[in-house]
Structures are given as structure tokens and as C-alpha cells.
A and B are shown apart, each in its own frame.
Chain A
Amino acid sequence: MQEFVHFLQHDVLARISPPLGALPDQIVLLGAILVGAAPIVAFMAVIAMAWTYGERRIAGFIQARYGPNRVGPEGVLQPLADGIKLLAKEDIAPAGADRPLYELAPLLVFVGALLPFVALPFSEKWVISSMAAGVFYVLAFEAIEVIGIIMAGWAPNSKWSLYGGMRLAAQMVAYEIPMGLCLLTVVALAGTLNLGQICQMQGGAFGVGNWMVWPWVSPFATLAFFMFFVGGLAATKRAPFDLPEAESELVAGFHTEYSGIRFAFFFMAEYAAMYVVCAVATVCFLGGWHGPFREWLAPAAGAPTISDLLGKAVQVKTADGAWFVWANLWGALSVLGKWAFWKPMLYELLGAFYLIAKSFFLLFVMVWMRWTLPRIRIDQVIYMCLKVLLPFSLLCVLGAAAQTVFTDWNLLHWLLSAGK
């Protein structure tokens, strides 16, 4: 955090205009947060919108029908139309609703879905806060969403909502444990809680050799990956774990009584939460930003960083006055014309592409499962968690711990080096 503020102060602002560089830390940080939060909210909204469209088109394909294909080419603008519709809809609250809680709940759910993005890397360098306890943080802040949903279950004074909220609480609290243990398996192997570091070590041959999910890296992580995904389905209340909103049973579960934009918040939060689970799975098990051909773009040792380039381009440091500000701005823009600037940029972009593509593949699997599988029953949900996932995830943690102690986090490495 401090480094980032420092970078902004000295390498960006001060070079544009020295007085800007003298701005206090807190102001810079606040500005960065405000400027940075917008892309996150935008990214989350785009993901949610893209996947409402994607989900409906995939569902259409699976169910031998078209899905939305009227608004814009192939219906891609459907989410926009839906968004406008939801905004324009009347906001109805049941007469017996607990108004303050009723209005707070969707916001809480939305915020809860947003918070994990803070620690979630999008690429090697593109991460808002590369915090030491990133894995732990992502898990913890899902709890806020749970509270929001319990609130949404209670506030409308509807029994359907209440049942939905209760089912969700039971389900999410239960599945947090095996999910945490599955991540712990990776943490034990990697020796760090930092999402970035966990991801960084998974490069290997051709960018795919060392992914945690491969059984030759660690069979325990392979098992943990599948269990984490199952737990993720439960935590994001997706089929076959969609009991909190089971349509044929609970009408719409916890969001039965919500309409308009409040409903849209739940909707966006669901897709955001799905993306978070998939992205965490990608970072921890599927090599994150690693992928083929990315090494070719890797910056050579001693190659100038973007910051260096900026420094070189912006020569005028001492002089004052408006003219120099414009000169420096021009200098900064001229960097855009240099391959040395674009190479590291492309390197990051390709990383982001791999990470998001893999996450989207997992999201696709989630959607695919939803339109294929029936729903299981609440007792089976809990049975599955406590008697299947929990023991096996404990086994994974133990196994991974034993593996790191006796061999190496990467079994293949160990076997190869043992041969030497």
C-alpha cells in the first residue's frame, strides 16, 4: 500500500507537476481509491452483465432454443435493456417489511460481493492490494454477503424469503469450512497466503507445467480443486445447490419480495461472487495468469520499467510553471509510441487474458451445470459438506503438509531432482 502511494507520489504526480507530488499520502490514497474503485465496480458490472447474457444464451443452446437475440447484434445489448428495465421498474416493498433492513440488505450484499475484488489479482502486477493474507481475506469478506442475504431473508416479512435466507446461512456457513481447507491445501504447498505469490510459482513448462491442479504437482491439490469448485457452487448458491432460491419450492427464496434495482443488486452480486470463486480457483489451482507464449514477452533483466520510461520522457523537473506541465504531459504521452512501453503492457494484458479466460471457463462450467443438474435437498447439502467434503479436504491438508515436509511442493520437480 505504502509502496503504491509512494509510486504515485514520486513517479507519476511529481513528474507531471512537482506541487502535485507534495500532496499528502492520505489524499493521494483517497484519490487512488476513488479512481481505482470505479474500474472495479465497472468490471464487476460488466462481468455480471456479460454473464446474464451468456447464461441465457448458453441456457438457450442447452435447451434447444435461441435465448435473447433481438437487442443489438445477436442480442448482446440485452443486459443493457434489462438494466434500464430494472432501473425503471417500480420499487415495491411488502407492507409488513422491516423497511430499513429491507433497503440495506441489497446494498450489503452488493458491497460484500465487491470487497473480495480488492485482493483479487487480475494479472501479475494488476492487483489493487497484494496483501499478505489475501486468501484469508477473500474468504472472510464473503461473510458480509451472508449477513446481507440473511437480512434480505428476514426483512420482507415473507416466509419464502425467510426459508431462503435460512437455507443460505446454513449452506454458506457449512461450505466455508471445506472451501477454506481446500485453499489451505494450496497454502500449505505454496507456503504463503498471498494470492500473487501462490500464482507466481505455478508457471513451469510452457506456462502450464506447474499448475497446482495437475496431479503430478500434487494429487492433493487436484482433489482440493474439485472440492473447492463444488464448495464454490454451494457458496454462490448455484445449481445443484440453488436451494436458497429454489424456484419450484421457495418461489424465489430470499429475493422473492425484491423488484427493480434492488433485485438487480442481488443479481449482480451473484455473478460477481461466481466470478470471485472462479478467479480464486484459477489463481490457486489453474496457474492464474500463466499460460503459453507469455514468457516471450517477459521483460529481460534490467529492462526499463514503465516508471523508468516515464522518468526518461519527463526531463523537466526543476522548472516551474504551467508551460512545463504541458510539456511533461506531452512527454508522458509520447511513451505510448514506444515498444518498450507496450511490451510489459502486453505481458500484463496476456496474463489478464489467461486469468480471465480460465475464470470464464469455470464460470461456463457453472452455467452448464445449472442447466443440467437437478437440485439436491437441504439434508443432502449438509451431508455432502460434513461427511464427504470435510473429511476429504482434511485429508488434502494433511497430505499437502506431509508432501511439503517430505518432498517438495511440486512432486515432479522432486522426482526429477531425486533422479539426479
Chain B
Amino acid sequence: MDDHPTVLQELRERFGAGAVSVQPTRDGVPTLWVSKELAPDVLRHLKAGVARPYRMLYDLTAIDERMRANRDGQPPSDFTVVYHLLSFDRNDDVRVKVALRGDSPSLRTITDVWPAADWYEREVFDMFGVRFEGHPRLRRILMPPTWVGHPLRKDHPARATEMGPFQLPDAKQDVEQEALQFRPEEWGMRRRSETADFLFLNLGPQHPGTHGVLRLILQLDGEEIVDMVPDIGYHHRGAEKMGERQTWHTYIPYTDRIDYLAGVMNNLPYVMAVEQLGGIDAPARAQTIRVMLCEIFRICSHLVWYGTFAQDIGALSPVFFMFNDRERALQIIECICGARMHPNWFRIGGVAQDLPRGWDKLVRDFLAYMPKRLVEYDRIVMKNRLFQARTRGVGAYTLDEAIEWGVTGPGLRACGFEWDFRKKRPYSGYDQFEFDIPTATHGDCYDRALVRIEEIRQSLRIIEQCVNHMPEGDYKSRHPLATPPLKERTMRDIETLITHFLGVSWGPVIPPGEGFAGIEAPKGNNGYYLVSDGSTWSYRTRIRTPSFPHLQMAPLICRGALIADVLAVLGSIDFVLADVDR
């Protein structure tokens, strides 16, 4: 590629040739195994020691390897902890894997290297029972504190029917009630300072301003936020566990529900990752349809954000206008996909159906309609003096903080950093389109809003190019693993019929391997890390969502602010609880 030393060379140079072993993957991300003793040092070195460092902890997860058959050449391991780092300087990733043995494995925490590792390590602990030594507060994060077992372990049941009927005897209810008692110390908060007794305010899980079932524990001195601790998991539906139960094909509808405002945008990284594992190339028409639908959904998502953000600030009317416009966009989606919020439209190897007749007129009407509306919204929202007074300088973070905490998407670009997967690592044919990456400078609520609104305009540009240059051809690949296969030859030759039958009844068998695909979703980088064990379902499905790290960062920017600012910050982060909890 270029004459820089590879990351493997750099690490072997520093830690010795035997310390690092390599595993080939389908996505081409260098995947390095290190011992658990060495792991924190290796990660620290990668973050700060190497030239052009890996500054962002992009993802941290684990794999229960105990049932996995195809592990050719990998070190023996019961539980593998996977660190996914991202280097902006190299525009490259590295994956560091640590093998752990035994039933209650443990390793050193890296919260001292990346503060953002806090929630990720808690999630791995919660889901796999891997202990992180030295972690400040290693408690369950997604599951309730009284939960027994670690759900993503292979021996944990996935279905309710495997767990016996639910019962709530008095004794159990008492235990559950006791677990709900709020004790500030457990959340790392003090009850009083030298000058004041703090007031603790439970914002949520049912609250009009949190956009879903999120609980924020506010430690208040008057109206000032001393500290804030988000309590998540109320929206956890075990999406990753479902991935190990559904076939590759039948999991697609589940992805729709991750960021439920972004619809097909969730299908894309999943099918991209599966296609990567299966070696399938989606045809150009399918790719362009995907891009167009994704951009329409980006607009939908941003419109919902725009309206609700204005409402969080206290302007009650914009949300009606924006939902109205979103309705128009969803009508296009409905005409093409048949569904609105959860279209479930992308397929392994393409999309479900070709575009309907007259689709281009619908889209062109929308393209003609939308820009004028945006100008008006600028007038009633962004240029409003009170709105600016509420958002300018509020909830600001620097670029360094953003990278440190794993912020991607508009939140990162609002700090003035031009980083967009669509440009930096073009997928699905984005390199064929002309569009700009909007950025802003201050990284405050107002700038995040500015970036998103400009993104709507850029999305309109992309959609227009899709309409004008929609390629002819197949809407789905002719690869045998494309599911379900193109129907035209099914009734003619027996081979296709059998493939079709197997693909529908069992699902496609994806060859063993690992792969990651990430895209630029409306809220940030959304990615699927899939492990195939050569079967009809995924061995491990890891969903890297943007909202998770973004919400983790919220306390940092809320401290010292007022209650009203918290709502402004939450609105400007633009998270979806389903995207946080999965």
C-alpha cells in the first residue's frame, strides 16, 4: 500500500516477535493476538506510542469461543476479548484479540488508557462474565442487577421458552424492589459537599425529554449539574443474541429495529458484512438503490432529530412541520418498500425488489419540495435568537475529547474534523457521488445542529444523482449465496430451484470467517462485526452502534451545566435508545 511499516512490524519491534500473532480475516483489518498480560501495554502503545497512532477505541467486545469449530491457527481460547481501534492518520483499523481461558476469566482494564472503555468493559462483563481488574465500577449495564447468568455466553438460553415460566413470588419481588433502591454511593456519587447537600433527581426512565426509556441520575446543586450518570438497558432486547439464533437472511428484519429512525440504514452494514464473508458483490443498480434509500432515511432521521431538538429547547411547533416532511419522505419509502419505519428491504446480495414504476417522479417531487422547507426551518429555528442563546456554547467538547470518547458522525464533524466513512472509505459506490462533508468548528449543540442540517442538503444532492444516474441491470447478485436468489430461473433449472429452496428453508451457508462492515449512519458510525462458523447462522453478531459511546460521553459535557442544558445536550447528541441498548 505505502512504505509505512505495518502495524504488525511496529508491534513486533516493540514487544518482540513472539508476542504478537496474526489472524487472517475477510475484512482485511489486521487482527493481532496478544497475551492478556501484554494487552493493556500493547493498546497503550498503539494509542500513544506509534507514529500515526490509533487514537479511537472504536469498539470493544468479546466472543464466546467454546462452541466454535473453525478456529484454524488461532490461539486456544474460551473467551476472546476483541479491541477494535481506529487510526484517523492511517485511515486504517487494527483489531487486537486477547485469549482468555476458564469459566470466570479476567484481564486488566483499559479504562486508564481510554475512558470510553468504561461502558464497553461493563457490557462485556454483563454479557460474558469477563472481569476487568481495576475497573472503577464493574456492574451490569444492560441487564438488571438481579439477572442471573451472562446472556451472550453460549450456554445461556436465548428463548423465553427455554427459561421456564416467569414467576414473581413475594420474596423475589422484595429482592427486585431492594435492587431498585437508589443509593448514590453505588453510582459513584457523594451525598453532600462541604457547602451543600445535593439533590438527586431521577430523569427518566419515563420522561418527556429523554426520547425513550433512558434514566439519568442527576446530582444537583440547585439547578446546577454536579454529576450525571446515565442508566441504560431499559430498551435492551438482546439483538446480538438473536443474531446467533436467526439465519443470516432472517436476521435482517431485526437490524431495522436497532436505530429505528434509520430504517434500511441498519440493513446496509449487516448485509455488507455478510456479503464480505460470502464473497458476494452487489450489482451496481442494487448499490445505487441502497444509497438512495439510505440517504432518504438519513433525511428522515435528521428531520425527526430536528423537530425533537427544537422541542427539547422549548419550541413546540417545528416538530409538526418536520414530521410532516418526514411523512412525505416515508411515502416514497412506502411506495418502494411497502413498509415505512422498518422496511427490511436489503437482501444478501442486493435488495428485495426492483424499483416500482414511477418511483423517479416521487423522488423528484420530494427533491423539489424539500430545499424550500429547509430554508424556512432555518428561519424559524436556527436563526432564532433565543434558540441560539440556548445552544451556542452549550454542551461543547473539543476534537480531542471527541476522539478520546469514540464520537463519530455529526458529533465529530461539529468539532471541525472532516471524517466521513462515505468519503474516507467509500462503500456501496459512494465514491461515484459528488457531495461535501459539512463541518463546524465549536463542537457545541448549535454546531452539531448545523452539521446535521447541512447533511440533509447533501443527502438531497446524493439522491438527485441517484435519480439522474440510476444504472440498469440486476437488483440482486447472481451469486449462489444471494438470498433469496433471483426468481427468473428458479422454475427452469433444478439447481437454482434447490438453492432457492435451501436458501429459504435453511438459509444460506456462509463460509467460516470474520468480517466487519461499518457505514456512516445518521447518528455516527454503525458497524456489524460478524463471525461465521460455516453454518446457516452467525456465530457471533456484534453491533457497533454510535449512540452507545455518544451517550456515555454526555455526563462529561453536562457537568456544571443547568438542567435545561442537559435536555439541550441530549437532543443535540441525537441518540436512539434502541441504538444504545440493542
Taking beta carbons and an 8 Å cutoff, which residues of A are in contact with B? 59, 62-65, 159, 163, 239-240, 242-243, 246-251, 370-380
B209 engages A248 (CB within 8 Å): yes
Task: Give the contact stretch, choosing among B80-88, B102-110, B121-129, B563-571.
Answer: B563-571
A374 engages B314 (CB within 8 Å): yes
In the bound complex, residues from chain B placing their C-beta under 8 Å from that of A370 are: 316
In the bound complex, residues from chain A placing their C-beta under 8 Å from that of B564 are: 243, 246, 249, 375, 377-378
A374 engages B199 (CB within 8 Å): no
B317 at interface, CB cutoff 8 A: yes
A to B CB contacts below 8 Å, 11 in the list = A65-B320, A163-B563, A246-B314, A246-B564, A248-B314, A373-B386, A374-B314, A374-B384, A374-B387, A375-B314, A380-B390
**Restricting to B171-222, which residues have a CB under 8 Å from any CB of A?**
199, 201, 207-209
In the bound complex, residues from chain A placing their C-beta under 8 Å from that of B317 are: 59, 62-63, 371-372
**Restricting to B320-334, which residues have a CB under 8 Å from any CB of A?**
320-321, 324
Most chain B CB inside 10 Å of its own CB: which residue of A62, A64, A376: A376
Bound form: Cα–Cα A65–B317 in Å: 11
Bound form: Cα–Cα A242–B324 in Å: 26
A377 engages B562 (CB within 8 Å): yes
Least Cβ–Cβ distance between A245 and chain B, in angstroms: 11
Given contacts A159-B201, A247-B208, A249-B563, contact A375 B389 (CB under 8 A): no
In the bound complex, residues from chain B placing their C-beta under 8 Å from that of A243 are: 564
Q: Which residue of A lies closest to B202 (CB)?
A: A159
B310 at interface, CB cutoff 8 A: yes
Least Cβ–Cβ distance between B212 and chain A, in angstroms: 13
Q: Which residue of A lies closest to B394 (CB)?
A: A377
In the bound complex, residues from chain B placing their C-beta under 8 Å from that of A159 are: 199, 201
Bound form: Cα–Cα A378–B314 in Å: 13
In the bound complex, residues from chain A placing their C-beta under 8 Å from that of B312 are: 248
In the bound complex, residues from chain A placing their C-beta under 8 Å from that of B324 are: 64
In the bound complex, residues from chain B placing their C-beta under 8 Å from that of A376 are: 314, 386, 389-390
B311 at interface, CB cutoff 8 A: yes
B314 engages A240 (CB within 8 Å): yes
B431 at interface, CB cutoff 8 A: no
A374 engages B320 (CB within 8 Å): no
Least Cβ–Cβ distance between A220 and chain B, in angstroms: 25
B562 engages A63 (CB within 8 Å): no
Q: Which residue of A lies closest to B314 (CB)?
A: A375
Most chain B CB inside 10 Å of its own CB: which residue of A240, A251, A378: A240
Least Cβ–Cβ distance between A274 and chain B, in angstroms: 17
In the bound complex, residues from chain B placing their C-beta under 8 Å from that of A375 are: 313-315, 386, 390, 564
A248 engages B311 (CB within 8 Å): yes
B380 at interface, CB cutoff 8 A: yes
B223 at interface, CB cutoff 8 A: yes
In the bound complex, residues from chain B placing their C-beta under 8 Å from that of A242 are: 314
In the bound complex, residues from chain B placing their C-beta under 8 Å from that of A163 are: 201, 223, 563
Q: Which residue of B lies closest to A380 (CB)?
A: B389
In the bound complex, residues from chain B placing their C-beta under 8 Å from that of A65 are: 320
Bound form: Cα–Cα A163–B386 in Å: 22
In the bound complex, residues from chain A placing their C-beta under 8 Å from that of B320 are: 63-65
B384 engages A248 (CB within 8 Å): no
Q: Which residue of A lies closest to B324 (CB)?
A: A64
* In the A-B complex, the 8 residue pairs with the closest CB atoms: A375-B314, A63-B320, A374-B315, A248-B209, A374-B313, A374-B314, A377-B564, A248-B312
**Restricting to B346-401, which residues have a CB under 8 Å from any CB of A?**
380, 384, 386-387, 389-390
Given contacts A64-B320, A159-B201, A374-B387, contact A379 B314 (CB under 8 A): no
Bound form: Cα–Cα A246–B566 in Å: 13
A249 engages B380 (CB within 8 Å): no
B386 engages A240 (CB within 8 Å): yes
Given contacts A159-B199, A240-B386, A248-B209, contact A377 B315 (CB under 8 A): no
Least Cβ–Cβ distance between B276 and chain A, in angstroms: 42
Bound form: Cα–Cα A159–B384 in Å: 31
A378 engages B223 (CB within 8 Å): yes
Bound form: Cα–Cα A378–B225 in Å: 14
Number of interface residues of B (CB under 8 A): 28
Given contacts A63-B320, A248-B311, A378-B223, contact A373 B209 (CB under 8 A): no
In the bound complex, residues from chain A placing their C-beta under 8 Å from that of B311 are: 248
Given contacts A64-B324, A249-B563, contact A373 B208 (CB under 8 A): no
**Restricting to B405-457, which residues have a CB under 8 Å from any CB of A?**
none
Q: Which residue of A lies closest to B313 (CB)?
A: A374
**Restricting to B299-318, which residues have a CB under 8 Å from any CB of A?**
310-317
B208 engages A248 (CB within 8 Å): yes
Pick from A59, A373, A379: contact of B384, CB under 8 Å: A373
Given contacts A371-B317, A372-B317, contact A249 B567 (CB under 8 A): yes
Least Cβ–Cβ distance between A66 and chain B, in angstroms: 12
Given contacts A374-B310, A377-B565, contact A249 B209 (CB under 8 A): yes
Bound form: Cα–Cα A374–B208 in Å: 16
Given contacts A64-B321, A248-B208, A372-B380, contact A239 B562 (CB under 8 A): no
Most chain A CB inside 10 Å of its own CB: which residue of B199, B209, B316, B567: B316
In the bound complex, residues from chain A placing their C-beta under 8 Å from that of B562 are: 377-379
Bound form: Cα–Cα A52–B6 in Å: 70
Q: Which residue of B lies closest to A239 (CB)?
A: B314
In the bound complex, residues from chain B placing their C-beta under 8 Å from that of A380 are: 389-390
Bound form: Cα–Cα A239–B315 in Å: 9
Bound form: Cα–Cα A246–B203 in Å: 14
Bound form: Cα–Cα A239–B201 in Å: 24
In the bound complex, residues from chain B placing their C-beta under 8 Å from that of A372 are: 315, 317, 380
A249-B563, A377-B562 given. 17 additional CB < 8 A pairs? A63-B320, A159-B199, A159-B201, A239-B314, A240-B386, A247-B208, A248-B209, A250-B563, A371-B316, A371-B317, A374-B390, A376-B386, A377-B389, A377-B564, A378-B562, A378-B564, A380-B389
Bound form: Cα–Cα A363–B380 in Å: 21
Least Cβ–Cβ distance between A211 and chain B, in angstroms: 28
Given contacts A242-B314, A248-B208, contact A374 B386 (CB under 8 A): yes
**Restricting to B116-171, which residues have a CB under 8 Å from any CB of A?**
none
In the bound complex, residues from chain A placing their C-beta under 8 Å from that of B563 are: 163, 249-250
Bound form: Cα–Cα A62–B319 in Å: 12
Bound form: Cα–Cα A240–B389 in Å: 12
Most chain B CB inside 10 Å of its own CB: which residue of A163, A246, A372, A374: A374
**Restricting to B550-578, which residues have a CB under 8 Å from any CB of A?**
562-565, 567
Bound form: Cα–Cα A371–B563 in Å: 22
**Restricting to B4-21, which residues have a CB under 8 Å from any CB of A?**
none
Q: Which residue of A lies closest to B308 (CB)?
A: A248
Bound form: Cα–Cα A376–B312 in Å: 11
| CB 8 Å contact bits of B467-507 with A (1 = contact, 0 = none) | 00000000000000000000000000000000000000000
Q: Which residue of B lies closest to A372 (CB)?
A: B317
Bound form: Cα–Cα A349–B390 in Å: 46
In the bound complex, residues from chain A placing their C-beta under 8 Å from that of B316 are: 59, 63, 239, 370-371
In the bound complex, residues from chain A placing their C-beta under 8 Å from that of B390 are: 374-377, 380
Least Cβ–Cβ distance between A65 and chain B, in angstroms: 6
Bound form: Cα–Cα A159–B565 in Å: 18
Bound form: Cα–Cα A63–B322 in Å: 10
Bound form: Cα–Cα A163–B564 in Å: 12
Bound form: Cα–Cα A159–B207 in Å: 13
Least Cβ–Cβ distance between B463 and chain A, in angstroms: 24
Q: Which residue of A lies closest to B564 (CB)?
A: A377
Bound form: Cα–Cα A409–B269 in Å: 74
Least Cβ–Cβ distance between A173 and chain B, in angstroms: 16
Q: Which residue of B lies closest to A167 (CB)?
A: B223
Bound form: Cα–Cα A55–B313 in Å: 20
Q: Which residue of B lies closest to A170 (CB)?
A: B223
In the bound complex, residues from chain A placing their C-beta under 8 Å from that of B199 are: 159
Most chain A CB inside 10 Å of its own CB: which residue of B208, B311, B321, B564: B564
Most chain A CB inside 10 Å of its own CB: which residue of B201, B563, B565, B567: B563
Pick from B207, B310, B313, B384: contact of A251, CB under 8 Å: B207
In the bound complex, residues from chain B placing their C-beta under 8 Å from that of A247 are: 208-209
Least Cβ–Cβ distance between A118 and chain B, in angstroms: 34
